[in-house]
Protein backbone atom coordinates (compact mmCIF):
# COMPACT_ATOMS: atom_id res chain seq x y z
CA UNK A 1 0.00 0.00 0.00
CA UNK A 2 1.19 3.54 -0.80
CA UNK A 3 0.89 6.38 1.67
CA UNK A 4 -0.56 9.73 0.67
CA UNK A 5 1.87 12.11 -1.08
CA UNK A 6 4.02 14.65 0.75
CA UNK A 7 2.78 18.18 -0.01
CA UNK A 8 5.52 20.75 -0.65
CA UNK A 9 4.70 24.47 -0.78
CA UNK A 10 7.53 26.04 -2.80
CA UNK A 11 6.36 29.66 -2.99
CA UNK A 12 7.37 31.66 -6.09
CA UNK A 13 9.82 29.49 -8.03
CA UNK A 14 11.50 30.05 -11.43
CA UNK A 15 10.08 27.84 -14.15
CA UNK A 16 13.04 26.13 -15.78
CA UNK A 17 14.89 25.06 -12.59
CA UNK A 18 11.59 23.67 -11.26
CA UNK A 19 11.07 21.69 -14.45
CA UNK A 20 14.60 20.27 -14.24
CA UNK A 21 14.04 19.38 -10.57
CA UNK A 22 10.89 17.44 -11.52
CA UNK A 23 12.81 15.54 -14.18
CA UNK A 24 15.60 14.75 -11.75
CA UNK A 25 13.16 13.58 -9.06
CA UNK A 26 11.47 11.29 -11.58
CA UNK A 27 14.72 9.88 -12.94
CA UNK A 28 16.19 9.20 -9.50
CA UNK A 29 13.13 7.81 -7.75
CA UNK A 30 12.99 4.14 -6.81
CA UNK A 31 10.19 1.67 -6.07
CA UNK A 32 9.86 2.91 -2.49
CA UNK A 33 10.24 6.66 -3.14
CA UNK A 34 7.33 8.57 -1.61
CA UNK A 35 5.10 10.49 -3.99
CA UNK A 36 5.06 14.27 -3.70
CA UNK A 37 2.80 17.14 -4.76
CA UNK A 38 4.53 20.48 -5.34
CA UNK A 39 2.39 23.63 -5.02
CA UNK A 40 3.83 26.94 -6.18
CA UNK A 41 3.65 30.02 -8.39
CA UNK A 42 5.91 30.92 -11.31
CA UNK A 43 7.18 34.27 -12.60
CA UNK A 44 5.68 35.10 -16.02
CA UNK A 45 6.43 32.44 -18.65
CA UNK A 46 4.82 30.84 -21.69
CA UNK A 47 5.35 27.09 -21.99
CA UNK A 48 4.96 24.99 -25.12
CA UNK A 49 4.23 21.27 -25.01
CA UNK A 50 6.48 18.68 -26.62
CA UNK A 51 4.70 18.69 -29.99
CA UNK A 52 3.18 22.17 -29.74
CA UNK A 53 3.15 24.57 -32.66
CA UNK A 54 4.81 27.96 -32.23
CA UNK A 55 2.14 29.48 -34.44
CA UNK A 56 -0.04 29.57 -31.32
CA UNK A 57 2.40 32.03 -29.70
CA UNK A 58 1.08 35.22 -31.26
CA UNK A 59 3.02 38.02 -29.57
CA UNK A 60 5.05 36.98 -26.50
CA UNK A 61 6.70 40.37 -26.02
CA UNK A 62 9.03 40.36 -23.03
CA UNK A 63 7.68 37.10 -21.56
CA UNK A 64 10.02 34.13 -22.14
CA UNK A 65 8.82 31.11 -24.13
CA UNK A 66 10.08 27.69 -23.00
CA UNK A 67 9.58 24.47 -25.00
CA UNK A 68 9.14 21.62 -22.53
CA UNK A 69 8.34 17.91 -22.39
CA UNK A 70 4.67 17.82 -21.33
CA UNK A 71 1.68 17.16 -23.54
CA UNK A 72 -0.54 19.92 -24.86
CA UNK A 73 0.00 23.21 -26.63
CA UNK A 74 0.87 26.65 -25.20
CA UNK A 75 -0.16 28.09 -21.86
CA UNK A 76 0.84 30.92 -19.54
CA UNK A 77 2.04 30.85 -15.94
CA UNK A 78 2.38 33.89 -13.72
CA UNK A 79 2.03 35.17 -10.15
CA UNK A 80 -1.51 34.76 -8.89
CA UNK A 81 -1.89 31.31 -10.46
CA UNK A 82 -1.66 28.13 -8.38
CA UNK A 83 0.52 25.52 -10.08
CA UNK A 84 0.26 21.93 -8.85
CA UNK A 85 2.86 19.33 -9.85
CA UNK A 86 1.86 15.78 -8.82
CA UNK A 87 4.98 13.58 -8.81
CA UNK A 88 3.10 10.30 -8.62
CA UNK A 89 4.22 6.73 -9.34
CA UNK A 90 1.24 5.74 -11.47
CA UNK A 91 2.54 2.24 -12.05
CA UNK A 92 2.69 1.59 -8.32
CA UNK A 93 -0.78 3.07 -7.82
CA UNK A 94 -2.14 1.00 -10.72
CA UNK A 95 -3.65 3.87 -12.69
CA UNK A 96 -3.21 5.30 -16.17
CA UNK A 97 -2.71 8.79 -17.48
CA UNK A 98 -6.41 9.32 -18.28
CA UNK A 99 -7.32 8.50 -14.67
CA UNK A 100 -4.71 11.01 -13.53
CA UNK A 101 -6.15 13.75 -15.75
CA UNK A 102 -9.69 13.05 -14.55
CA UNK A 103 -8.56 13.05 -10.91
CA UNK A 104 -7.00 16.50 -11.33
CA UNK A 105 -10.10 17.82 -13.09
CA UNK A 106 -12.44 16.35 -10.49
CA UNK A 107 -10.42 17.80 -7.61
CA UNK A 108 -10.79 21.32 -9.05
CA UNK A 109 -14.47 20.75 -9.86
CA UNK A 110 -15.18 19.59 -6.30
CA UNK A 111 -13.20 22.48 -4.80
CA UNK A 112 -15.09 24.98 -6.98
CA UNK A 113 -18.43 23.39 -6.04
CA UNK A 114 -17.63 23.92 -2.37
CA UNK A 115 -17.22 27.61 -3.18
CA UNK A 116 -20.55 27.75 -4.99
CA UNK A 117 -19.12 27.60 -8.53
CA UNK A 118 -20.29 25.07 -11.12
CA UNK A 119 -17.33 23.86 -13.17
CA UNK A 120 -16.93 21.05 -15.69
CA UNK A 121 -14.18 18.99 -17.31
CA UNK A 122 -13.75 18.12 -20.97
CA UNK A 123 -12.69 14.95 -22.75
CA UNK A 124 -11.84 16.88 -25.92
CA UNK A 125 -9.67 19.57 -24.30
CA UNK A 126 -8.44 18.56 -20.81
CA UNK A 127 -8.94 21.17 -18.14
CA UNK A 128 -11.69 22.75 -16.07
CA UNK A 129 -14.18 25.25 -17.45
CA UNK A 130 -16.79 27.65 -16.09
CA UNK A 131 -19.37 28.82 -18.61
CA UNK A 132 -17.06 27.87 -21.48
CA UNK A 133 -14.07 29.82 -20.09
CA UNK A 134 -10.99 27.94 -18.93
CA UNK A 135 -10.32 28.09 -15.20
CA UNK A 136 -7.62 25.41 -14.99
CA UNK A 137 -5.25 23.80 -17.48
CA UNK A 138 -3.74 20.32 -17.35
CA UNK A 139 -0.63 18.98 -19.07
CA UNK A 140 1.32 15.92 -17.95
CA UNK A 141 4.42 13.93 -18.77
CA UNK A 142 4.73 10.25 -17.84
CA UNK A 143 8.28 8.88 -17.58
CA UNK A 144 9.41 5.65 -15.97
CA UNK A 145 5.76 5.06 -15.02
CA UNK A 146 5.55 8.29 -13.01
CA UNK A 147 3.95 11.69 -13.62
CA UNK A 148 5.26 15.21 -13.54
CA UNK A 149 4.08 18.62 -14.77
CA UNK A 150 0.38 18.89 -13.90
CA UNK A 151 -2.24 21.53 -13.20
CA UNK A 152 -2.50 25.33 -13.21
CA UNK A 153 -5.50 27.01 -11.58
CA UNK A 154 -6.18 30.70 -12.20
CA UNK A 155 -6.72 32.50 -8.91
CA UNK A 156 -6.08 36.23 -9.40
CA UNK A 157 -3.30 36.49 -12.00
CA UNK A 158 -3.09 39.11 -14.75
CA UNK A 159 -5.00 37.68 -17.75
CA UNK A 160 -3.49 40.03 -20.36
CA UNK A 161 -0.71 37.56 -21.37
CA UNK A 162 -3.35 35.01 -22.43
CA UNK A 163 -4.27 37.46 -25.21
CA UNK A 164 -0.79 36.92 -26.66
CA UNK A 165 -1.39 33.20 -27.33
CA UNK A 166 -4.02 30.80 -28.63
CA UNK A 167 -4.71 29.28 -25.23
CA UNK A 168 -3.99 25.53 -25.32
CA UNK A 169 -3.97 25.80 -29.12
CA UNK A 170 -7.57 27.06 -29.38
CA UNK A 171 -8.13 30.39 -31.10
CA UNK A 172 -10.37 32.71 -29.08
CA UNK A 173 -10.67 30.45 -26.03
CA UNK A 174 -11.76 32.55 -23.06
CA UNK A 175 -9.96 32.32 -19.72
CA UNK A 176 -11.36 33.05 -16.28
CA UNK A 177 -10.12 33.32 -12.68
CA UNK A 178 -11.56 32.64 -9.27
CA UNK A 179 -11.53 36.38 -8.59
CA UNK A 180 -13.75 36.90 -11.67
CA UNK A 181 -16.20 34.45 -10.12
CA UNK A 182 -16.53 36.56 -6.98
CA UNK A 183 -13.95 34.66 -4.93
CA UNK A 184 -11.36 36.96 -3.36
CA UNK A 185 -8.80 34.30 -2.39
CA UNK A 186 -5.03 34.22 -2.47
CA UNK A 187 -2.92 31.39 -3.86
CA UNK A 188 -2.00 30.01 -0.44
CA UNK A 189 -5.64 29.77 0.59
CA UNK A 190 -6.54 28.01 -2.66
CA UNK A 191 -3.66 25.57 -2.21
CA UNK A 192 -4.90 24.68 1.27
CA UNK A 193 -8.48 24.35 0.06
CA UNK A 194 -7.63 22.22 -2.98
CA UNK A 195 -5.32 19.78 -1.15
CA UNK A 196 -7.99 17.57 0.50
CA UNK A 197 -9.81 17.26 -2.82
CA UNK A 198 -6.63 16.12 -4.57
CA UNK A 199 -5.95 13.56 -1.85
CA UNK A 200 -9.54 12.36 -1.93
CA UNK A 201 -9.23 11.72 -5.67
CA UNK A 202 -5.90 9.92 -5.30
CA UNK A 203 -7.25 8.00 -2.31
CA UNK A 204 -9.91 6.40 -4.51
CA UNK A 205 -7.23 4.56 -6.52
CA UNK A 206 -6.11 1.00 -5.83
CA UNK A 207 -2.95 0.58 -3.80
CA UNK A 208 -3.35 3.75 -1.74
CA UNK A 209 -3.05 3.46 1.99
CA UNK A 210 -3.12 6.00 4.81
CA UNK A 211 -5.28 9.01 3.83
CA UNK A 212 -3.28 11.27 6.14
CA UNK A 213 -0.57 13.48 4.67
CA UNK A 214 2.29 15.80 5.58
CA UNK A 215 2.67 19.35 4.28
CA UNK A 216 5.81 21.47 4.52
CA UNK A 217 6.84 24.93 3.41
CA UNK A 218 10.16 24.80 1.60
CA UNK A 219 11.84 26.21 -1.50
CA UNK A 220 13.44 24.90 -4.66
CA UNK A 221 16.93 25.03 -3.20
CA UNK A 222 15.85 22.72 -0.39
CA UNK A 223 14.27 20.31 -2.91
CA UNK A 224 17.49 20.20 -4.93
CA UNK A 225 19.69 19.60 -1.88
CA UNK A 226 17.83 16.54 -0.60
Q: Could you confirm whether 203 is annotated as catalytic?
A: no
* CA distances for 70 relative to 1, 67, 116, 125, 175, angstroms: 28, 9, 32, 15, 21
* CA distances for 9 relative to 37, 80, 145, 170, angstroms: 9, 14, 24, 31
Q: Give the Cα separation of 140 and 191 in Å (integer).
A: 19
* 94 three-class SS: coil
* 166 three-class SS: coil
How crowded is residue 44: how many other Cβ atoms within 10 Å of its Cβ? 18
H/E segment holding residue 27 = helix 15-28
Q: Give the Cα separation of 112 and 17 in Å (integer).
A: 30
Selecting among 7, 168, 181, 191, the annotated active-site residue is 168
Query: In angstroms, how far apart are the furthest CA atoms of the chain?
Result: 48
Q: Give the active site residues.
A: 168
Amino acid sequence: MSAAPLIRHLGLAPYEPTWRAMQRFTDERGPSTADEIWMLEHPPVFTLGLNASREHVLSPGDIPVVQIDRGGQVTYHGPGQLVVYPLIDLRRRQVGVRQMVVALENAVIAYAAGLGVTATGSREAPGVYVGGAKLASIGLRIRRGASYHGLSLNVALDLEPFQRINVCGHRGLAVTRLVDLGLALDVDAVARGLTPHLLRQFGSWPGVGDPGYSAINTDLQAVNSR
